[in-house]
Chains A and B, each alone.
Chain A
Amino acid sequence: MPIENERLLETLSSLDGVAGQEKTVGEAIAARLREIGLQPETDRMGNITARREPAAGGSPFHALLCAHMDEVGLLITEITADGYLKFSPAGGIDNAVLPAKWVRIGGELPGVVGIKAIHLQKMDERKKLPETDAFYIDIGAASREEAEKQVKLGDMACLVGGWHELGADLVMGKALDDRAGCALLLELLAAEQPCRLTGVFTAQEEIGLRGAQVLANRIQADLVVVLEATAAADVLETEAEETVTCLGRGPVCSLMDAGTIYPPELIKLITDCARTAEIPLQYRRGAAGANDAGALQTAGAGQRVITLSLPCRYIHTMRSVASRTDYANWKKLVINLLERLSSPEESARFSRETSGKDAGKQ
């Protein structure tokens, strides 16, 4: 199954934007929103919001869909006397993927993460990875003065990975977490939907759900759906119970993570949507990690939240891998869920105003 707008996903995943420096990604998203006739609003955290009313006769049910714009990356913390750059990670990156990799600083300047040649390593050096503060970036500068003309402390250095097709159904890109969610949200906002939709592209998720916290103070909806990319550990001979999710087995419904315990009635509803529409669905078999749902669930008087994710191998590296079929099914599932929530019965059950009254009836 194809991704409807794969070109959009490729473009978004290739842009650079670590927490706090989402400008380029935000501009691309805002431009696309205008293209589809919506008015993007940007707040002071850098979150982008767009609203779409349903066609005449549509449901007043209000769903807030959210995807984060930022990706994991590095921030430049020091320029050495001989012109190398030291860095600190913004978001969780495994040091194992850093040696001898390409980076792009401030969205344009190329550099490499150096490593001592194998010929020169002592035996004990081969047995350990450098500590984060031992890594350095080489931009070809001959001195600190020369490097300072190109780079400022605090500039982001993003991991570089092109766009590749893997096998028959997989795509490999840099920041599928969470440009995949951004792309899906843009696709959903581009089409007529059965209920009121607020789409939010959040900032600073990777360093502690910071954008969403501000957003939650401002917008209250009947239901929040977080569109995420989540780890698929179905790699090599990993035991089934340790895979968290598997590529090709459909979108993922979270049950619980470090930020949120998801409401059982919503998990049930999603399970039912998937079953009725014959969409493959998997539950996230792991409770580690958190996402914007954690911030959105507890804001104000509280909101119902659910996370629907795209399984993604090698997440938080420059080579995240996802399945086109999973993406298409992910989209189908969200559309199906919105349709269900727009029916008078489910709408009454889950809307903020009325749901408290029959809370006992689930």
Chain B
Amino acid sequence: MEQNGLLSWVEEILAQGSALSGVSGHEADLSGFLADIWGVYCTESRKDVVGNQFFLKPGKSGANKILLAAHTDEIGLIVTAVDKNGFIRFAPVGGVDARALPAQAVTVHGRSEMTGVICYAPAERRAGKPVPLTHLAVDVGYDREEVLARTRPGDIISFAPEFQTLLNHVCAGKALDNRAGLAALAVCLRELSGRAHAHDVIAVATAQEEVGCRGAATAAFQAQAAVAIAVDVTHAQSPDVKQAAQLGKGPVIARGPNLHPLLTEYMENKARDERIPFQTEVAPRPTGTDARALQLAGAGTPTSLISIPLRYMHTLVETVSAPDVMLTGKLLAAAVTGLSAELEELDFAY
């Protein structure tokens, strides 16, 4: 029963988070949401100049700090020009797939918000070929003069949200990369609120991950944590993706040089102890997540990466399993409570 309550809470958070707009560099609109889902379990919060939002949940001894990082930002578009007929040209913010854009509804965040739709000239219909991003535009239904009065280059364009719960508590919507990570951290903080933990937990909603993990670098510099765990999403299997994690089979623990081997092993053992199913992914190079920046912070920070399997990444129909999100949060909570006072489990003994 309690499990079901937690699951519906997760689904609710995913729906709320997906509906908000937080394109890289413009994450402020999520502050209220973060206060609701993280802030209530924490004692302090603050923002920094890059757009990171920090929340502190003090531990019993506070001997060390554990940094839990999930990025707030999502991919989007930015206005570059308005053409002679009032159609808005744009550039991508983050890894946007042009093939998924035609006929998508968007919001242009100009002097006032405008609804629009991504269009292309009928002459672009070339059998089998996608319309290149530079040939797409936003139609907001006004003439050039009116469009120029309402928006200008540099304004952000976000994708109009649509969220649905499919079968098996599978949730689909925009920006679940990485609202799913934010939701997992919410579960973690909620679980921790009833448990003793030695170390301070700093939960950070990092900014600008989608354009190169910029927030994570400055967040880690400020936090000076003894341990960092990045919480993000990873590719899940679909008919056209075979080599990947599976939806609904639990969190994914990454192995590879970007991740501290002993911390990774510790996370895996915690999952086994708690009977939380987990999957493994191998990253032979720096990962495309905040973990790549967290590891290099200060004198180097033992870092782990826990990911939630997700299908159709960087589209408007990103799909995750709510139970995966919940289990990710539970694993994080177990990891935080289990770390010893001196963190000796992370010491290399060559």
What residues make up the interface of A, taking CB atoms closer than 8 Å to B? 80, 82, 84, 94-97, 99-102, 110-121, 126-129, 131, 134, 136, 138-142, 146, 150, 160-162, 164-170, 172, 231, 233-238, 242, 313-314, 317-319, 321
Contact = CB atoms under 8 A, between A and B. Distances in A.
B40 interface: no
Contacts of B167: 139-142, 146, 150
B176 to A, nearest CB: 12
A116 B238 contact: yes
A96 B131 CA distance: 8
A113 to B, nearest CB: 7
A189 B91 CA distance: 48
Interface string B286-321: 001000000000000000000000011111110100
Interface in B138-159: 139-142, 146
B34 interface: no
A134 to B, nearest CB: 7
Nearest to A117: B313
Contacts of A236: 83, 85, 87, 119-121, 135, 137
A321 B129 contact: no
Interface stretch (B95-103, B188-196, B218-226): B95-103
Contacts of A238: 121-123
Contact of B130 (A96, A120, A170, A233): A96
A120 B235 contact: yes
B313 A114 contact: no
Given A119-B235, A119-B313, A235-B139, A242 B123 contact: yes
B206 to A, nearest CB: 19
B146 A115 contact: no
B128 A129 contact: yes
B100 A99 contact: yes
B142 A102 contact: no
A118 B123 contact: no
A242 B122 CA distance: 9
A127 B129 contact: yes
| Interface band, chain B | 35 or more
A32 to B, nearest CB: 28
Nearest to A149: B167
Contacts of A319: 103, 105, 117
B95 A118 contact: yes
Given A116-B312, A238-B122, 9 more contacts: A96-B125, A100-B97, A114-B239, A118-B97, A120-B235, A128-B128, A164-B105, A164-B115, A166-B141
20 contacts: A80-B239, A94-B102, A96-B102, A97-B103, A99-B97, A100-B99, A112-B317, A115-B312, A116-B238, A118-B97, A127-B129, A138-B172, A164-B115, A167-B142, A169-B141, A170-B141, A235-B120, A238-B122, A314-B119, A319-B117
B39 interface: no
B238 A313 contact: no
Contact of A115 (B100, B121, B162): B100
Contacts, number: 192
Given A112-B172, A114-B239, A120-B235, A237 B288 contact: no
B164 interface: yes
Contact of B105 (A112, A161, A170): A161
Given A110-B164, A112-B319, A141-B167, A128 B130 contact: yes
Given A138-B311, A317-B103, A166 B117 contact: yes
Interface of B: 83-85, 87, 95-97, 99-100, 102-103, 105, 114-117, 119-125, 128-131, 135, 137, 139-142, 146, 162, 164-170, 172, 235, 238-241, 248, 288, 311-317, 319
A138 B83 contact: no
A289 to B, nearest CB: 12
Interface centre among A97, A118, A131, A164, by most chain B C-beta atoms within 10 angstroms, is: A118
Nearest to A83: B167
B139 A321 contact: yes
Interface centre among A129, A167, A168, by most chain B C-beta atoms within 10 angstroms, is: A167
B314 A118 contact: yes
B103 A101 contact: yes
Contacts of B315: 99-100, 115, 117
A157 to B, nearest CB: 13
A161 B139 CA distance: 16
Contacts of A110: 164-166, 172
Contacts of B172: 110, 112, 138, 140
A283 B314 CA distance: 42
B319 A138 contact: yes
Contacts of A134: 240
Contacts of B139: 166, 235, 313, 321
Nearest to A142: B168
Contact of A100 (B165, B235, B240, B312): B312
Nearest to B167: A140
Q: Which 10 A-B pairs have the closest CB atoms?
A: A167-B141, A140-B166, A166-B141, A140-B170, A100-B315, A140-B167, A100-B100, A112-B317, A117-B313, A170-B141
